Each structure stands twice: as C-alpha cells, then as structure tokens.
Amino acid sequence: MDNSKSIEINSQIAKNWSSKSWKYSDEDNFEELRKRGQEVVNYLLEKHKGHNVLCISHGIIIKILVCVVIFGEKLNPEIFWEFNSHTLVENTGITHLEFTEKHGWKVLGWNNTTHL
C-alpha cells in the first residue's frame, strides 16, 4: 500500500472513529474494542483475582485493556484516540498491570523491551 493510500485510510478512520457502526473494512471499531477489553478485565477479576496471569495480544488490545482499567466508564472514543495516538507498543513489549482491593488497578510497567 502506498503512503497516500495509508494516509487516506487513517484519515477516514479518524473522521469516523466515534461512529458506533462505521468500519473501514473488517477491523473493530471503538465500541467493539471497548466491549472486548471490558470483557477481558471482568473475566480476569472474576476468574483470576489474586493470581499472576500472562496475557498475550496485539498492541491495540493491550492499549484498550490499559484504557479500560484506567478510565473505566469514562472511556470514550476521543480519550482512546488520544491515548492510542500518543503511545507506542513494540512487538514483545511487556506491560505490567496489577489489581489490589485497596488501590484497584495500577499500571506498573509500560511496553518494557529490556528483555530483547
């Protein structure tokens, strides 16, 4: 794909990001990403609270998980767009989240690649 086509696609996605039904192709829109992220967080809290769990996923899912635990019900398309635009996730980067009853969710590490 040439650079001008990529810019056009990104422009279309940005323009329609808040629309609950719009899709450029078969990618998830914000509502689908948020719902999937919330389902993962709920599952982890229900089935694995107090355990160490390793989740392996694509960068966009890592970002939505972090946003779901940080912003909760306040998470909206605009907040996620800004977060996504200003954060980088490298392949094999390790993001470390922790949940405690006292403090809730904390981000203890972001995209750590020192193991490479």
Write out pLDDT tens, residues 22-53. 666 777 888 999 999 999 999 999 999 999 99
Evaluate the CA torsion angle 84, 105, 51, 30 in order and state its sign: negative
pLDDT beyond 90 at 20: no
The pLDDT value recorded for residue 71 is 97
pLDDT digits (tens, 9 = 90+) for 53-76: 999 999 999 999 999 999 999 999
Q: Is 41 helix (H, G, I), strand (E, B) or coil?
A: helix
Q: How confident is the model at residue 3 (pLDDT cuts 50, 70, 90)?
A: confident
The pLDDT value recorded for residue 27 is 76
Dist. CA 28–CA 50, nearest whole Å: 31
Dist. CA 17–CA 80, nearest whole Å: 10
CB 59 within 8 A of CB 28: no
